[in-house]
Amino acid sequence: MHKTQVMRFELTKDFLEKLNDAIARQNSTWIQDNVCELHDADIATIIDELDEDGAVYVYNLLEEEVQGDILMELDEDLREEILKSFSTKEIAEQVEQLDSDDAADLMGELPKSQVEEVISQIEDDETAEDIVDLLNYDPDTAGGLMQKEFMKVSIDWPVNRCVLDLRKQAEEVEKVYTIYVVDESEKLLGFLSLKRLLFAQPTTKIADLHQNKNVISVKTDAESEEVARIMEKYDLVSIPVVDLNNKLVGRITIDDVVDIIKDEAEKDFQMASGISENIESDDSVWKISRARMPWLLIGLMGGVFGAQVIAGFEGGIAEVPALAFFIPLITAMGGNVGVQSSAIVVQSLARGTDQFGSIFKKITKETLVALLNGFILSVIIYGIAYVFDSSTLGLVVSLSLFTVIIIAGIFGTLIPLLLDKYKIDPALATGPFITTLNDVVGLFIYLTIGILMYGI
């Protein structure tokens, strides 16, 4: 019987306490037995939970060959601290352990003054060249995402020559998904799965074995969101990257793209929540504060406009103070409906669906939804406002609520579509922006109807 090893590590408070204890007592044996044996990703999770000194201590106990990969999985701030404790020579050693894309990312995080020095300390010339090359690309493009490690074969070779050559290439490439097929000038012609190669006759020519129909690739300057969309659409685990001459220069793997897909989806949520930078809950007070300020200022200005609208009706409110009762209801409902409508539009734009649906059709549908919801809610609020104060107030509130819901629905649909048309991120429309606009418009409608109905 073979021992079954299937299990997954769960980080518990108890484990962390034991670890901190071991660190305090410099008990390296306990750490080696209980931490260093785990999966890289688990080790990174554990180190992320330690304080700086503890993190550096545990990191230095790790086997050299896994250090680099773990370093790249740590929180950026902690990685910076660990790197500070290293000489440029030591950093160069870590960099040599990494895949070229991670190596370039790491160099990008170093102070500019250090980059050249670290590169000059890298012993393997080819590695250094690859990194320098990758640093030329914008990090948010396919060139910035790609790695130089991939497997390629020439279209003129037979299978047995490929296997020999790939055996050499395999030393450099950690994960092989697809073998790319190129011509004598390195132009991408097609691809070949390892599976096909494994089961082919040794003398079969690659030209007869490879797939050359619907080869999906991206150019180095493709935006990373575009890369993510293509890999998602075509269900790819890796995608070849070519230059303007269609020469194969790198590949991007799905694990790097999953993060982009997630960040994209989260960005809309942050926009809708009024946060303008990508922040996390452990960022500094200053950074969090700064990221929220723009939206709060928009809200503040909206509130001032709202005050101006109400001030225009001061006489009316002095005469019928009950009119003030439902001000928050009108503004809240306008905001809610506006955010709901815009969220749907933003999401379908982000998904890239409905590209040919006409604006007119969308507005019509949104108006129908608003009519239906507006009607139901108006009837409810009429009853409540009637009991609350009077049938006049009931009529004022229900009529204006109905109008506000319809206008908010139309604004909520139209504005993100317009922003998108003018190449502005439509998610801008879902946050405090649309709420504020609807507040001002809603107030005006409500108070106008109020003045008219009360005959003030």
Residues 289 to 328 in contact with its own copies, rule: CB under 8 A: 289, 292-293, 295-297, 299-300, 302-304, 306-307, 310-311, 314, 317-318, 321-322, 324-328
Q: Least distance from C-beta 233 to its own copies, angstroms?
A: 5
* Residue from 55, 22, 257 nearest 147 by CA: 257
Site for its own copies in 192-211 (CB under 8 A): 193-195, 197-199, 207
Nearer to its own copies, 265 or 424 (CB): 265
Strands 238-242, 218-219: pairing is: parallel
User: What is the Cα–Cα distance from 336 to 353, expressed in whole angstroms?
Assistant: 24
- Of 147, 220, 400, 430, the one binding its own copies by CB under 8 A: 430
Structure tokens at 406: 């319809």
- Of 32, 88, 217, 390, the one binding its own copies by CB under 8 A: 217
Nearer to its own copies, 144 or 416 (CB): 416
Nearer to its own copies, 113 or 245 (CB): 245
* Residue from 180, 175, 176, 208 nearest 192 by CA: 180
Nearer to its own copies, 127 or 378 (CB): 378
Cα Rg of the chain (Å, integer): 30
Q: Least distance from C-beta 337 to its own copies, angstroms?
A: 7
Does position 2 bind its own copies by CB under 8 A?
yes
Nearer to its own copies, 307 or 424 (CB): 307
Nearer to its own copies, 118 or 410 (CB): 410
- Of 30, 157, 386, 388, the one binding its own copies by CB under 8 A: 388
* Residue from 72, 43, 41, 44 nearest 147 by CA: 72
Q: Which amino acid type is present at position 272?
A: A
- Of 266, 359, 418, 421, the one binding its own copies by CB under 8 A: 266
Q: Least distance from C-beta 86 to its own copies, angstroms?
A: 25
Nearer to its own copies, 119 or 405 (CB): 405
Q: Please choose, out of 54-62, 92-100, 105-113, 225-233, the segment that lies near its own copies by the rule CB under 8 A.
A: 225-233
On the CB side of 437, how many CA atoms lie within 13 Å of its CA? 19
- Of 49, 129, 186, 243, the one binding its own copies by CB under 8 A: 49
User: What is the Cα–Cα distance from 208 to 194, expressed in whole angstroms?
Assistant: 15
Site for its own copies in 327-386 (CB under 8 A): 327-333, 335-337, 339-340, 342-345, 347-348, 353-357, 362, 365, 368-369, 372-373, 376-377, 380-381, 384-385
- Of 187, 243, 395, 453, the one binding its own copies by CB under 8 A: 187
Does position 242 bind its own copies by CB under 8 A?
yes
Cite the DSSP H helix spans in 85-214. 88-97, 100-109, 112-121, 125-135, 142-145, 159-169, 194-198, 206-209
- Of 435, 441, 449, 450, the one binding its own copies by CB under 8 A: 435
Instruction: Determine which helix (DSSP H) or strand (DSSP E) holds 41, and give its type and residue range.
Output: helix 40-48
Site for its own copies in 131-160 (CB under 8 A): 155
Site for its own copies in 50-89 (CB under 8 A): none
* Residue from 267, 327, 272, 269 nearest 295 by CA: 272
User: b/e string for 282-319 if b means 16 or more Cβ within 10 A?
Assistant: eeeeeebeebbeebeebbeebeebbeebbeebeebbee
Structure tokens at 192: 């070949």
Q: What proportions of the chain, in percent to the nearest 5, are helix, strand and coil?
A: 65, 10, 25
Using alpha carbons, list the distances in angstroms from residue 10 to 32, 58, 158: 17, 18, 48
Query: Judged by CB under 8 A, how many residues of this single chain contact its own copies?
Result: 137
Q: Least distance from C-beta 59 to its own copies, angstroms?
A: 19
